[in-house]
Structure 1
């Protein structure tokens, strides 16, 4: 490991005023601003556009179709990330893998602007989602190279917070184009929607450049001349890492809890618009409500980081899990009108960024930093496998029962299990 580099990095963070973000921390944060534009578009606009393509082809179940698309994307990431993450722990490799997945996501985001049928569009969207989620795995692990343990909660929360509010800028431009383009420019709505995909990709690229030009890998497990050995030993090391996780009771108990509660978070995020669409809610109201979510999430995510500094990351994660139980029950039993969808959107915004940000930073504190990518690969297995189960469960239950509300309710049990494991887990950061 690069011991001297680690000392220099800590010194640079210590030299900065404790209440302010360092330059490197800000450059890491802005990638959240860039990629969140695609995340927001995927939540609010793309499902509606995909639904229009499905209806044109005579298909009528957007919830199950969208759920299966999300499941496939999550499964690919869950399989790839531990293997690639282990290789990326080699000196200088992390940024290369990040760049590869980032470029895949951007190119596929632009490709969605092509006039495609519903199946081809979903294939391209799945590839774009794989690119996004793959880049996020390496981006998350870059956090340990960017700041210290004491500042991780704050920096991670600022990433999600600024990502929420920053993503609204290109989103508002896209919405103005989609709703105003037909009257002002004489373009049809479908073409305006496709142009919005290109706008989002440009924004994504612009806010990735600071990270690419400034990032340096501080924690690593081998030098470049050991790359061949590292690659050949990857599968053996993955087995050894799994064994270390299994022997570390606080770590694996958190990962199991994370597996269950992130299921609910990801499922609510990815399925909310398609669920509201199938209930017959007005698409304009859905989009505006989700836009409000971003503004609510911005201060709440940053507030969560401050509260974690006072009460600890784990207690604040537990608060969010309980809140998501309330959200799931509200969605299953009460969501019928646009006003109720607005209430749901605000509730999600209050806790969504906090639980994601603190999960990322809490995990970074309790893992070996010289194997961070490898451990974050397993983090992705648990996170993305949960997404597979969540979306598949909702899609399948909805298909079998014909009632999307029952599909939403089916994830409540997972939240209860998550809370049990969090209660039983001993917090290593409190030692």
Structure 2
């Protein structure tokens, strides 16, 4: 069955902007059978997850600890609130920018240009974090690096519809997250070894070794981005390169029509609302876990090693999730992960007090984190028009990043008001319950 035959029948409303059909290009790709081995193009797309995940891992485990040391040197103490507000600002910037840029990127050949711009921003900022900066300037650079990362991921996610078919999306997306998890451990272990062993081996200070880890991560990120940049071809687009000017001028009209099309597509908007709430919890747990553990007084060595275990657990779990989605459906597996995350949040709020509980939390997160992220990306790609993928993924990013704004802001504010980080963590459960309700009410358009 062809990709077009399985695409959703709901199309966006017509607009004045030119629309180019890439159906012939798609059919010419000779896409393999659903269970065939991964193609070269799919593999080269997957390895970008290996590259950028190294920075995600460093940002989760090392950067908050380093930022906390800068804060303490300046007489500040509440890393949960400070780091939460920094992540909120980065998410807000992405949420505002992505729909407009996403619409522009649906022009032939533009997607890879926007991807490259954000990728380079992230890499340069990652290197800049190695400079001797004050805590405030360091957080500003962190925000820029996070914007570069998440901006590139919006365009990267939308590339999924160009490199594979509907039938293979769950599998390819899951492999991306899986290999990202396991691949990121290589530079991370090198960085941790440098941070802990560098002072005795090279005579460097721990601070210098930590700064060097930022440069190592940036180089790894670059190395695993090159295969994608040299092989990617945009198959689906709404306007040709010759119609770029007209398409850009019609961007805001296109955004309006896309929003109206989403509003008329009940299964799509119900999923997006559910996604808004549950991805909030996932992103907040990822971005706040280390700062939460730090505030509880858990030793940094235990925090780092526990998060490393998360990566190894997430590798087989993400691949298994992709296979289970082929049997039970992506939506069913997403719903299962949401229920699991409710249990995870309750555990973190009521039982996490020592390093042992943090290790348990890390393992539990690893079981479901990659699966819910991967299947959300692929499930969304199945139910949107392919020739407007980047624009639709721009709205996807609004929901994902706005949710991150609410999640981190909620945890930071609740912690500041109550003086109790556990109360802030507990508030995430409310968002997950709302997401679960919408998932249960939504009719899955991919299941006939």
Normalised-by-shorter TM-score class: over 0.9
1:13 aligns with 2:29: no
The alignment's C-alpha RMSD in Å is 0.7
- Residue of structure 1 in register with 2:22 after alignment: 2
Q: 8 Å contact 2:338–2:432 — kept in the other structure? A: yes
Give distance in 2, aligned partners of 1:12 and 1:386: 35
Is the 8 Å Cα contact of residues 415 and 424 (structure 2) preserved in structure 1?
yes
Q: Report what 1:378 is aligned to.
A: 395
Q: Scaled by the length of structure 1, what TM-score is found? A: 0.99
1:7-406 → structure 2 map (5 Å cutoff): 7-9=27-29, 11-14=30-33, 18-406=35-423
Q: Per-residue deviation at 1:411?
A: 1.1
Report the Cα distance in structure 2 between the residues aligned to 1:409 and 1:291, rounded to whole angstroms: 24
Q: Deviations over 1:372-391 (max 9, x none)?
A: 00000000000000000000
Q: Which runs of 5+ in 1 are unaligned?
A: none
Give how far 1:224 is off.
Answer: 1.1
Provide the rounded CA distance (Å) in 1 between the counterparts of 2:320 and 2:182. 14
Q: Tell me the secondary structure at the aligned position of residue 253 of structure 2.
A: helix
* Structure 1 residue 20, shift from structure 2 partner: 1.1
Q: Aligned partners of 2:357, 2:363: CA distance in 1, in Å?
A: 10
1:42-90: CA deviation from partner (whole Å, max 9, x where unpaired): 0000000000000000000000000000000000000000000000000
Shift of 1:18: 2.7
1:155-207 C-alpha deviation (Å, 9 max, x unpaired): 00000000000000000000000000011111000010000000000000000
Counterpart-to-counterpart distance in 2, 1:3 and 1:244? 21
Q: Give ranges in structure 2 of 5+ residues lacking alignment.
A: 1-20
Could you tell me the TM-score, scaled by structure 2's length? 0.95
Query: Which of the pair is proportionally richer in helix?
Result: 1
Task: Report the Cα distance in structure 2 between the residues aligned to 1:157 and 1:411, rounded to whole angstroms.
Answer: 25
Secondary structure of 2:32 counterpart: helix
Cα shift at 1:12: 3.6
Task: Tell me the CA shift for residue 4 of structure 1.
Answer: 2.1
Displacement over 4 Å in runs of 4+: none
